[in-house]
Amino acid sequence: MGSSAVAMEDVPSVDIMSELLGRFKCSSKPDKHLILIGPPGSGKGAQSPIIKEEYCLCHLATGDMLRAAVAAKCL
């Protein structure tokens, strides 16, 4: 997976400020690692974005990742 460089002058100021504010907000929060486990339809997908925003976490939907890998015949 490669990275691509973007010239800062091409990034809108509002996007830069939004990113900086988000990083500042999250910098004071302790690191957390959560795993949501539950049966289908229990609300894991509905609650994940809320928890992600509140606690400055990364959301990895492993079910979606697995389905994408199977569809791409990576497994």
pTM of the model: 0.55
Residue 24 in this model has a pLDDT that exceeds 70: yes
Average pLDDT over residues 25-40: 86
Q: Select the more confidently predicted residue: 2 or 49.
A: 49
Distances (CA, A) of 9 to 6, 44, 63: 9, 39, 37
What pLDDT is attached to residue 36? Answer: 92
Report, as an integer, the average pLDDT of 64-68: 88
- 56 and 25 Cβ atoms separated by less than 8 Å: yes
Angle at 50 between CA 53 and CA 13, to 5 degrees: 35
Residue type at 36 in one-letter notation: L
DSSP character at residue 29: S
At residue 2 the predicted structure's pLDDT band, cuts being 50, 70 and 90, is low
